């Protein structure tokens, strides 16, 4: 792990940049540090894979839409791979993985919900969620969250309406939908009282930018 990794985590004048590559594939960058979530595999039948280098990669479920770990190895950049529940520390970054049984395409999977904090911004990534309610144990383990990534009704995940209610119940400042069709997104936005919203190419944010926000929906373009 490069020395710049730990340095970047504590450079508070930097912004966190979130980019979206479709399905549940996200890149979160803070300085030179790159964290990838659920990269799309070349074997995915519904998503398009993309390649970049990451320091850490998180996989929620062992499914081709989410398990393309090889897609975030590039040049000398070989990521630390996290593929299931547990507590992890990588270069000063703490990641918690929380087990959550899931169904996708009629098959049972172990979905892992992830929480981590970057620049004092607490992130919750719900992954391949199919249960309409989170267990009290999962909620307690997740703690207070600033940003929640939530899937919308695709291939067995929870409905858009339920997804919104679930996300809001976690009381985040920002909600980022993922794994959605345009119809599902429209329903989700309607639930949140946002009939229409522009899709951002990327989200650039600092801790201070979250002040005064509560349950605001941010949609990223893939």
Q: What is the pLDDT of residues 95-128, one digit of tens each?
A: 999 998 877 777 888 899 999 999 899 999 999 9
pLDDT digits (tens, 9 = 90+) for 158-200: 789 999 999 999 999 999 999 999 999 999 999 999 877 899 9
Tell me the mean pLDDT in the region 20-25: 96
CB 78 within 8 A of CB 51: no
Question: CA–CA separation, 11 vs 47, rounded Å?
Answer: 34
Residues in the chain: 222
Beta bridge partners of 109: 102
Tell me the mean pLDDT in the region 130-135: 85
CB 27 within 8 A of CB 34: yes
- C-alpha torsion angle, residues 5, 139, 105, 58 (rounded to 10): 10
Tell me the mean pLDDT in the region 28-45: 96
The more confidently predicted of residues 2 and 28 is 28
DSSP 209: G
Instruction: Let me know the angle formed at the C-alpha of 128 by 122 and 132, rounded to the nearest 5 degrees.
Output: 90
Distances (CA, A) of 199 to 94, 101, 104, 177, 180: 30, 31, 27, 11, 13
Question: CA–CA separation, 202 vs 125, rounded Å?
Answer: 17
Q: What is the pLDDT of residue 156?
A: 56
Q: Any alpha helices (H) in 32-191, and if so which ranges? A: 136-142, 160-169, 182-191
pLDDT digits (tens, 9 = 90+) for 65-75: 999 999 999 88
Picking from 205, 145, 212, 198, the residue whose alpha carbon sits closest to that of residue 175 is 145
Q: What is the pLDDT of residue 8?
A: 46
The more confidently predicted of residues 123 and 5 is 123
- C-alpha torsion angle, residues 105, 191, 219, 24 (rounded to 10): -20
Q: How many CB atoms lie within 10 A of CB 14?
A: 17
Biggest distance spanned by C-alpha atoms of the chain: 46
Question: CA–CA separation, 148 vs 29, rounded Å?
Answer: 16
Question: CA–CA separation, 111 vs 130, rounded Å?
Answer: 9
Kindly tell me the burial class for residue 73, based on how many C-beta atoms sit within 10 Å of its own C-beta (0-12, 13-18, 19 or more). middle
């Amino acid at each position: 792990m490069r020395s710049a990794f730990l340095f970047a985590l504590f450079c508070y004048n930097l912004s966190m940049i979130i980019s979206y590559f479709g399905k549940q594939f996200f890149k979160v960058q803070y300085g030179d540090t790159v964290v990838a979530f659920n990269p799309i595999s070349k074997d995915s039948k519904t998503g398009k894979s993309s390649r970049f280098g990451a320091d850490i990669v998180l996989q929620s479920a062992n499914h081709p839409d989410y398990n393309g770990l090889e897609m975030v190895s590039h040049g000398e950049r070989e990521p630390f791979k996290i593929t299931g529940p547990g507590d992890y520390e990588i270069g000063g970054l703490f990641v918690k993985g929380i087990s959550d049984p899931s169904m996708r395409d009629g098959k049972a999977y172990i979905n892992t919900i992830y929480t981590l904090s970057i620049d004092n911004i607490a992130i919750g990534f719900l992954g391949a969620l199919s249960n309409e309610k989170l267990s009290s144990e999962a909620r307690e383990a997740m703690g207070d969250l600033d940003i929640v990534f939530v899937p919308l009704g695709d291939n067995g995940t929870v409905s858009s309406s339920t997804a919104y209610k679930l996300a809001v119940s976690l009381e985040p400042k920002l909600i980022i939908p993922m794994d959605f069709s345009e119809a599902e997104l429209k329903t989700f936005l309607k639930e949140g009282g946002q009939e229409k919203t522009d899709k951002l190419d990327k989200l650039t944010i600092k801790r201070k930018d979250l002040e005064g926000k509560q349950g605001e929906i941010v949609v990223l373009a893939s």
